[in-house]
């Protein structure tokens, strides 16, 4: 794998971004983008160009019973918008518990509430992306 993979944790207010290494082994939190019409997509496209991204992975928020609800519909629509705007392949990764896992990690830090909110989305994106990367190494 030469091109990097960009992981995205889509939210109505913020979108967390994470990037893989060039070998597709590890995911690192990158940044959080305010989800403002036009601005978010332009920033994401800039990151894709800067980081030589070849694939996108969007977190898919499912219910615990594995059903998809309104938030999953929104994430899928966002994924389709990304595909149309970038021409890149978009895959979806079950993100159940990724934000909870990110919250647990951040509870162990001394960050203030404001700082945690700035970090949680990109950390959740890294968890989503790492899960996707790991699933490629050990397919079920």
Cα 40 from Cα 121, distance rounded (Å)? 14
| pLDDT score for 4 | 96
The total number of structural domains that make up the chain: 1
Q: What is the pLDDT of residues 88-121, one digit of tens each?
A: 999 999 887 666 666 677 666 666 666 666 687 8
Q: Are 20 and 4 in contact (CB under 8 A)?
A: yes
* CATH label of the domain that carries residue 130: 3.30.420.140
Range of the domain at 59: 4-137
Question: Which residues lie below 8 Å from residue 68, measured CB to CB, with a gap of 6+?
Answer: 60, 62, 76
pLDDT tens figures, 18-51: 999 999 999 999 999 999 988 999 999 999 999 9
């Amino acid at each position: 794998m030469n091109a990097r993979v960009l992981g995205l944790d889509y939210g109505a207010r913020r979108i967390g971004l994470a990037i893989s290494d060039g070998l597709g082994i590890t995911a690192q939190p990158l940044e959080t983008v305010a989800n403002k019409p036009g601005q978010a997509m332009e920033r994401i496209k800039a990151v894709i160009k800067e980081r030589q991204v070849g694939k996108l992975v969007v977190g898919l928020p499912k219910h615990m019973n594995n059903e998809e609800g309104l938030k999953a519909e929104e994430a899928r629509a966002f994924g389709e918008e990304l595909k149309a705007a970038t021409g890149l392949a978009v895959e979806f990764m079950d993100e159940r518990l990724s934000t909870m896992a990110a919250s647990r990690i951040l509870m162990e830090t001394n960050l203030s509430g404001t700082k945690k909110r700035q970090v949680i989305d990109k950390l959740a994106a890294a968890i989503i992306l790492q899960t996707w990367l790991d699933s490629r190494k050990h397919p079920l």
